[in-house]
Each structure stands twice: as C-alpha cells, then as structure tokens.
Amino acid sequence: MATQIKVPDMGESVVEATIARWMKNEGDTVKAGEAVVELETDKVNVEVAAERDGILGHIAHPAGDDVKIGDVLAVVEEVGTSVATPVSKPTAQTDGAQPAPEPAKEERATPVAKRVAAEQGIDLHVVSGAGPGGRVTKQDVESYLHTQQSEQSSVISHQLSPTKPPAPSVQVSSNPPSGPRNPQSPADARGETRVRMSRRRRTIAERLVQAQQTAAMLTTFNEIDMSAVMDLRKRRNEQFEKRNGIKVGFMSFFVKASIGALKAFPPINGEIQENDIVLKQYYDVGIAVGAEEGLVVPVLRNADQMSFATIEKRIKEFAKKAQDGTLALDDLRGGTFTITNGGVFGSLLSTPILNPPQVAILGLHKIQERPIALNGQVMIRPMMYVALTYDHRMVDGREAVQFLVKIKELIEDPEALLLEG
C-alpha cells in the first residue's frame, strides 16, 4: 500500500512553498521519520519526512516547483513494489543538478548554499567555504560559479578569436581596413550569473511593494545623545556579564524604550483590519536580523515581561538561528512592532519600510560623534539618528513625532526605563 507525502500545514500565513531540494531519488529506500524533501517558504526552510518505511516512488514535483498546502509531493511504496522510474535516474533534480551531496559535506554548508548548488549542478565537495569553521555559504557557491563561468568565457573568447599570421610589410597601412569586428573581443566576454530568486526573496519583494501600495507611509526623524547609555554600559557591563553570561547591548535599551513609548501611544501598537482599528495590549517586538537571503524578523513575545538579559540572549539566539538557517515558524509569527538596526552595516540615516500589518517600524542607525550645542556650548557627543516610519491612516504625525521624542527621553535617561519600560 502506497503512502503519500504531502505539503504539511506550516502555520499562520504560509500557504505556498517551493521545492528546495529532494534528499532522495525515486527508487531510494526511506525510513519512517527520515527527511525526504526540503521545502522553502517565505520565512523558513522545512524538511518533510516519510511517515513509514518503504521505497520512494513517483516524485510529483521536482526541485524548483511551487506547491501549496496539501499538494502531493511523492509516494512511498511498500518494499518489494516495483517503481516505474529506475533508481539511477536523477528525477529528483532539475536543470542537470547532481544528487544531494553526502551528509558529511552537507553539515558544513548552509541550507541556502545547498539549494543554490543543487540548482546550478555544483558539487559542494569542490567549493571552498569562507564561513566559520569552513562553512560553505551562498556567497561561496556563487563565487565558485562566477569563477567557472569566467573561465569558460575566456576559453570561448580564445576559440572565437582566429590566429592571425604576421602581415607582409607591403600591406601595412596607417588607415585600418573597414569590415566586421572580431566576433568577440575580450571586452565583450564579461559574463553574467543567473540565479533563481528564492521564495523568501520573492516574498520580500512582493511585500515591500504591497506595503508601499496599500499603506500611507511617512517617516519622521530625531536624534539621540547616546552618552548616558554608553556610560552605563561601560560601568555595568562587566558585572552584568558575570551575572547573566552575556554583555548588555544597545538593542535591549531600545526594546525597553519602545515598549515605554508604545504604552504612551497605543495606536502605534495596533493594526487596521478592514474598517476596524485593533489596539493590542501585548507587546511582541520584532527584531530585524540579517540572513543570507535578506532580513528576517523573529519576534520577542511579551517583550514587556523580559529583563535586559533575556532580551539580549533571545536576540543572540535569533542571530545564530538566522545564520544557520534554523529559525522556526514560531520564531517569526506575529509581531506588533518592529525595530531594525541599519547601524550595524554602517547606515547613518534611512527610511525603514513597514512590516504589514504593523503600522510602525523604528529604524536605528550608526552612532557617530558630532558637534552639538549643549547649554550654550559646542560639545562633541556620540549621536544616533532614529527614524519612525508609520502608516498615516492610523497614526497621526503628532503621535509619531511624540513617540520618537519619548524614545529619545528614555534613552537619554536610562534610569527612567526602570519605571516606564
């Protein structure tokens, strides 16, 4: 009796996925609980396992296909049942891709790197990893691919350029002869790399465009003197680390300050649902984290109940999971407000874009020493520009400006966070 492998229910808002890669080919033996196929969603990658022992039969969707919840991916036949497709036929791969590399190699390659390698038919054994511990990343695969294509272009260019014998002296002329150009000069052989856009990148693109088309987005700015927070960290960091096993960063201060400001201005912690305004009494703060294929936004649930140490630990866990590609759907669900820090990449000022259905997002930036006027004197201070992008349909400009002023006040007087954050 055959058993179907279907696209599982992957939780809130996830209705489609892309076949990232097949870990087994038709005719391969599989065991119950063994991962057979990897699905890529707009949030995380999900491995789907076989429910029973058997032989992998017909694969309904090759790598690269888009599928929906409940679609049949393949069937598992009972042992002893003949499978129409020979074992050696690489039906589980597309575009000439080779079978999945052996597990020992996979252990030092990120999920995205494995998917790109499978799509391009690259054997990961020949790719050098520049990541921690020799880990192979997407950039390593693309760099290898670019190098190979450049070498091929050079060979083709050489073959297309005919070898010209020395011209007799009587034919030398100061005027170049007219006629067609060399079929391909070195300048023409620049090469291109075409990589299939991942589902996550496609979804990010779609949502960014959707946010711009459906929300009345405006951005307001302010600047914060970071002296007090930096002094507090300098004085307390060693003691904090000994007690909690982690250093106190800037993000926990801004999470606490944001919660204090959200409590003062409830509409910024809400959302619009058709003709209704929904005000939320809980504070699930999303933290934008850089991953290989773009930013992901894991959520600190009930952040108002977290200590500084808990916030720092959770953010560190999210960053590691994002790098390893192990974020779970539960890590990314929901969120009432988002904080993004472009300063870690050197950004001095930017206008963050909304993360629907949220109605506001706080953008942090690089701390830079600048001269400011303070008490009638010009002083050098570590300053940070902050930006709040908001949906004007729900949040008025006055509220947005006062929200940023509240954050400025709390950051410049960190002790106030104990009372209001």
Active-site residue (options: 146, 158, 392, 413): 392
Nearest to 389 by CA among 327, 344, 337: 337
pLDDT attached to residue 153: 56
pLDDT at 199 over 80: no
Nearest to 290 by CA among 265, 320, 322: 322
Q: What does the pLDDT look like over 219-229, one tens digit per residue?
A: 999 999 999 99
Which CATH number applies to 104-156?
A: 4.10.320.10
| Contact call for residues 324 and 296 (beta carbons, < 8 A) | no
pLDDT attached to residue 150: 64
Q: What does the pLDDT look like over 137-179, one tens digit per residue?
A: 777 788 887 777 666 555 545 555 554 444 444 444 444 444 4
Q: What does the pLDDT look like over 11-48, one tens digit per residue?
A: 656 778 888 889 998 888 999 888 899 888 877 788 89
Helix and strand numbers, DSSP H then E, in the chain: 10, 19
pTM reported for the whole predicted model:
0.65
Mean pLDDT of the residues in the chain: 82
User: Residue 92 — pLDDT band, cuts 50, 70, 90?
Assistant: very low
Which CATH number applies to 203-420?
A: 3.30.559.10
Identify which has the larger pLDDT, 409 or 90: 409
Q: What does the pLDDT look like over 235-258, one tens digit per residue?
A: 999 999 999 999 999 999 999 999
Q: Given this chain, do its domains 104-156 and 203-420 carry the same CATH topology?
A: no
In order, the DSSP letters of 63-103 are TT-EEETT-EEEEEEPTT---SS-TTS-TT--TTPPPPPPH
pLDDT attached to residue 107: 58
Q: What does the pLDDT look like over 53-87, one tens digit per residue?
A: 989 988 999 888 888 888 999 998 887 655 554 43
User: Residue 194 — pLDDT band, cuts 50, 70, 90?
Assistant: confident
pLDDT attached to residue 116: 78
58 is catalytic: no
pLDDT attached to residue 113: 76
Domain 3-100 indexed as CATH 2.40.50.100: yes
Query: Is residue 37 classed exposed, middle or buried when 0-12, 13-18 and 19+ CB atoms within 10 A define those classes?
Result: buried
Nearest to 98 by CA among 143, 63, 128: 63
pLDDT at 185 over 60: no
Active-site residue (options: 9, 66, 123, 396): 396
Query: What percentage of the chain carries pLDDT values higher than 90?
Result: 42
CA atoms within 13 A on the CB side of 158: 6
Preceding omega of 166 cis (within 30 degrees of 0): no
Query: What percentage of the chain carries pLDDT values higher than 70?
Result: 81
DSSP state, 65?
Answer: -
Query: Is residue 99 classed exposed, middle or buried when 0-12, 13-18 and 19+ CB atoms within 10 A define those classes?
Result: middle
pLDDT at 281 over 60: yes
Report the distance separating Cα 5 and Cα 13, nearest Å: 21
Q: What angle do CA 11, 13, 15 make, to 5 degrees?
A: 80
pLDDT attached to residue 10: 73
pLDDT attached to residue 341: 95
DSSP state, 312?
Answer: H
Q: What does the pLDDT look like over 318-357, one tens digit per residue?
A: 999 988 888 888 898 889 999 999 999 999 999 999 988 9
146 is catalytic: no
User: Residue 103 — pLDDT band, cuts 50, 70, 90?
Assistant: very low
Tell me how crowded residue 143 is: count the other CB atoms within 10 A of its CB. Answer: 15
**Domain map (residue ranges) of the chain:** 3-100, 104-156, 203-420
Task: Compute CA 146 distance to the chain's CA centroid, rounded to the nearest angstrom.
Answer: 22
| Phi–psi pair at 180, nearest 5 degrees | -65, 150
pLDDT attached to residue 170: 41
